[in-house]
Amino acid sequence: MSKTLRLFDALFGRIFSEANQKLIERFTLWLSLLGFVIHLLLIYSKKFELFHFLLESQLLDDPISAIYTPFSIILIYEIYLLIVYLPRSFTTAVSKQFEIISLILIRRIFGDIPKVDLDVNWLEESANRQLIYDLTGVLLLYFLIYLFNHYQKKLPKMPVDDRLKRFVSSKKAISLVLLPVLIFTSIYSAFNWLSTLFGAPQDTTVILPDINAVFYNEFFTILILADVFILLLSFQYTERYSQLVRNTGFVICTILIRLSFGTTGLANVLLIVSSVLFGLTILRIYNAIETKR
Domain spans in the chain, listed from the N-terminal domain onward: 3-291
What average pLDDT score do residues 82-110 get?
90
Whole-number percent of the chain with pLDDT over 70: 86
Confidence (pTM): 0.86
What average pLDDT score do residues 270-289 get?
94
**C-alpha to C-alpha distance for 219 and 240, rounded to whole angstroms:** 30
Query: Are residues 206 and 55 in contact, defined by beta-carbon separation less than 8 angstroms?
Result: yes
pLDDT tens, 189-219?
777 766 665 555 545 555 555 566 567 778 8
What average pLDDT score do residues 272-280 get?
96
Phi first, then psi: give them for residue 117, nearest 5 degrees.
Answer: -115, 110
For residues 115 and 150, the model is more confident at 150
Q: What sign for the dihedral angle of Cα 197, 104, 119, 48? A: negative
Most confident of 113-127, 197-211, 225-239, 262-276: 262-276
- Look at residue 47 in the predicted model and tell me its pLDDT: 76
DSSP 8-state class, residue 159: P
> Which residues does residue 206 pair with via DSSP β-bridges, in sequence order?
55
Query: Are residues 165 and 9 in contact, defined by beta-carbon separation less than 8 angstroms?
Result: no
Query: Are residues 166 and 9 in contact, defined by beta-carbon separation less than 8 angstroms?
Result: no
- pLDDT over 90 (residue 65): no
Whole-number percent of the chain with pLDDT over 90: 30
> Which residues does residue 55 pair with via DSSP β-bridges, in sequence order?
206
